């Protein structure tokens, strides 16, 4: 059977004038059918480096993936004789060729190296099927290094889409193209942080204040219709742009593809240039509320993270991630997206509190949060700045309201940050944050900030709730699986005799035949089948225990205090 192969013919030329070179890279993209499996053939043409060696960028490690050079095969020169050498460590291909050439043509193919049904992990590698393709540009398009450098990271791109079937929908981070598109004044970071898709996608163009939001989706979904996600996306973008007083972006794309997962659900997304690419498990367990949260969190990063940048990335994750978390909940509740309101805010905020206060790293100082520790895989580290920052944002929002008699809120402070970022390229650092926040407060914020954000001491929730007149319960149920897995997760190495796990019948040494539970959720039963004395035993229980921890009450009084 013929399999679809996409051939990408890339033709490039450049012109320069003294000190201001103007580079244009042209792409011609067309499909090719052959009896082979999942390939992309790429032919690139450009003016090479005059010194006789041209470097083509293609990262071997990116976005949590490694060995990306494995997706490339058959690299060869077309127009000239020369030598091609791959360097995985540096993430490039070196081409030695005659000096002062006008044009150099290079051809290579890209293959889909993942096998079987599509999982969440596979989506960050090239996907090329008969029905569709889905690629991130950094593991697809090679870029000449000298063009990026000589153009001061500013070049133009044109793409001609040729010979695709009439019903083959094309879309990417820059446009919904038909036959031709131009991308002006782009950079390597912008161009290599993009998504390109084509095939049996459905494209929904959503108007938000005369700007186009393109929702690009494929697959037959079990738990929602396209119209549901269109409504969620429109409400999300409208609410966020209204809040930030920013309707300047005339095009934004959101792509969504289905993945396979037998039990439970998973979803994830990546914020890209002018776009957001997401995937989700297509089964009956998929949680639409979770997708509402995902869309709102990631799109919020257009401002907290993109416009308002961190000065020292991990050191300010409490802001870029924590404040994003807080405003994710606040904007959803305020705009009543998917009919979620203040009750949703209270429920999710209580979850944030439980996750922080039961975390094994709950009092880790902010100074210990580095790139290495954040990506170390140590339990609780990645969520720490999210939860700590969200609770700090809640405190500061209410503190500003109280100190200004309701005339100002955290909203005003964030808009202040945005103005400084746009006018002065100001980034978030701790001194600047405190100095700017103090303009809205009666007391210096520094001691509170140093104690709870820098040093990592837990917030006194009772004092905070009482100070701002919130009603709360003093106890709550917290997630507790009740036992520890063996190193290979095949059995129980230890168990708490006071836990629900022990009460349900689980014992130390039990060997698992089946495991099913939702991590950090007390709403779903944990279900196991264990082997004991050669017999299979089915055991289920709610993985929870009661702890002393203040939680906001979901009542009319607290909803009125939120003042959304």
Q: Please report, for residues 109, 119, 122, 131, 134, the alpha-carbon distance to residue 116 in angstroms, rounded to integers and kept in the order given.
A: 21, 9, 10, 15, 16
Q: Please report, for residues 124, 449, 484, 494, the alpha-carbon distance to residue 489 in angstroms, rounded to integers and kept in the order given.
A: 27, 40, 9, 12
pLDDT of 160 reads 85
**Of 71, 83, 3, 77, which is closest to residue 35 (Cα–Cα)?**
3
Q: Is the pLDDT of residue 19 over 60?
A: no
By the 10 Å C-beta count (0-12 exposed, 13-18 middle, 19+ buried), 497 is classed as: exposed
Q: What is the pLDDT of residues 294-305, one digit of tens each?
A: 999 999 999 999
Q: Is the pLDDT of residue 11 over 60?
A: no
- Residue 286 token pair: 């998929």
- CATH of segment(s) 313-472+551-562: 1.10.390
Note the CATH architecture for domain 201-301. Orthogonal Bundle (1.10)
313-472+551-562 has the same fold as 201-301: yes
Query: In terms of DSSP bridges, do strands 195-199 and 180-186 run parallel, antiparallel, or are they unpaired?
Result: unpaired
Model confidence at 423, pLDDT cuts 50, 70, 90, reads very high
Q: What is the pLDDT of residues 425-479, one digit of tens each?
A: 999 999 999 999 999 999 999 999 999 999 999 999 999 999 999 999 999 998 9
Q: Could you give the angle at the alpha carbon of 360 between the alpha carbons of 355 and 362, nearest 5°?
A: 65
What mean pLDDT, rounded, does the chain reach? 91
Q: Is the pLDDT of residue 193 over 80?
A: yes
Task: For residue 332, give the H/E element and its range.
Answer: helix 322-335
Ordered by start, the domain boundaries in the chain are 1-115+123-165+173-183, 201-301, 313-472+551-562, 481-542
Q: What is the pLDDT of residues 199-230, one digit of tens each?
A: 999 999 999 999 999 999 999 999 999 999 99
- CATH of segment(s) 1-115+123-165+173-183: 2.60.40
Q: What is the pLDDT of residues 348-398, one digit of tens each?
A: 999 999 999 999 999 999 999 998 999 888 889 999 999 999 999 999 999
Domain 481-542 has CATH 2.30.42.10: yes
């Amino acid at each position: 059977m013929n399999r679809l192969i996409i051939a990408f013919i890339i033709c490039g030329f450049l012109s320069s004038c003294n000190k201001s070179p103007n580079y244009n890279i042209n792409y011609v993209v067309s499909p090719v059918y052959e009896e082979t499996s999942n390939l992309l053939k790429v032919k690139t043409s450009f003016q090479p480096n005059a010194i006789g060696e041209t470097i083509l960028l293609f990262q071997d490690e990116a976005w949590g993936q490694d060995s990306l050079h494995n997706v490339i095969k058959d690299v060869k020169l077309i127009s000239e004789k020369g030598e091609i050498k791959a360097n995985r460590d540096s993430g490039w291909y070196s081409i030695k060729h005659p000096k002062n050439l006008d044009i150099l043509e290079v051809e290579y193919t890209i293959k889909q190296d993942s096998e079987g049904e599509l999982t969440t992990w596979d989506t960050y590698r090239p996907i090329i099927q008969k029905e569709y393709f889905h690629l991130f540009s950094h593991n697809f398009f090679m870029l000449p290094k000298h063009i990026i450098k000589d153009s001061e990271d500013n070049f133009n791109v044109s793409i001609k889409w040729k010979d695709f079937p009439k019903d083959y929908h094309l879309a990417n981070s820059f446009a919904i193209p038909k036959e031709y598109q131009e991308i002006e004044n782009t950079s390597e970071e912008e161009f290599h942080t993009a998504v390109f898709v084509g095939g049996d996608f459905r494209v929904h163009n959503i108007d938000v204040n005369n700007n186009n939001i393109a929702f690009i989706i494929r697959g037959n979904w079990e738990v929602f219709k396209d119209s549901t996600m269109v409504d969620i996306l429109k409400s999300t973008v409208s609410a966020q742009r209204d809040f930030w007083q920013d309707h300047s972006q005339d095009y934004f794309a959101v792509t969504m593809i289905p993945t396979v997962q037998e039990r439970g659900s998973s979803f994830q997304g990546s914020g890209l240039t002018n776009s957001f690419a997401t995937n989700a498990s297509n089964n009956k367990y998929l949680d639409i509320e979770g997708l509402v949260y995902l869309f709102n969190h990631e799109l919020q990063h257009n401002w907290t993270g993109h416009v308002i940048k961190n000065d020292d990335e991990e050191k300010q994750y409490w802001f870029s991630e924590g404040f994003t978390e807080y405003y994710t909940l606040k904007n959803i509740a305020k705009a009543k997206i998917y009919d979620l309101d203040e009750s949703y805010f209270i429920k999710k905020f209580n979850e944030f509190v439980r996750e922080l206060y039961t975390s094994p790293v709950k009092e880790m100082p902010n100074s210990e949060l580095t790139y290495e520790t954040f990506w170390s895989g140590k339990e609780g580290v990645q969520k720490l700045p999210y939860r700590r920052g969200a609770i700090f944002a809640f405190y500061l929002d209410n503190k500003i309201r109280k100190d200004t008699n309701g005339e100002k809120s955290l909203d005003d402070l964030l808009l202040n940050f945005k103005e400084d970022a746009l006018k002065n390229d100001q980034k978030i650092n701790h001194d600047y944050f405190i100095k700017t926040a103090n303009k809205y407060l009666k007391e210096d914020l520094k001691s509170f900030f140093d104690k709870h954000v820098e040093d990592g001491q837990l917030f006194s929730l009772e004092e905070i709730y009482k100070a701002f007149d919130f009603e709360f319960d003093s106890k709550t149920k917290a997630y507790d699986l009740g036992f520890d897995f063996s190193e290979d997760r095949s059995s129980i190495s230890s168990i708490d005799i006071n836990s629900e796990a022990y009460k349900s019948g689980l014992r130390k040494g039990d060997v698992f035949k089946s495991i099913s539970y939702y991590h950090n959720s007390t709403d779903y039963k944990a279900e196991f089948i264990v082997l004991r004395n050669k017999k299979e035993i089915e055991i289920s229980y709610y993985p929870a225990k009661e702890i002393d921890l203040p939680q906001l009450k979901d009542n009319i009084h607290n909803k009125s205090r939120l003042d959304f």
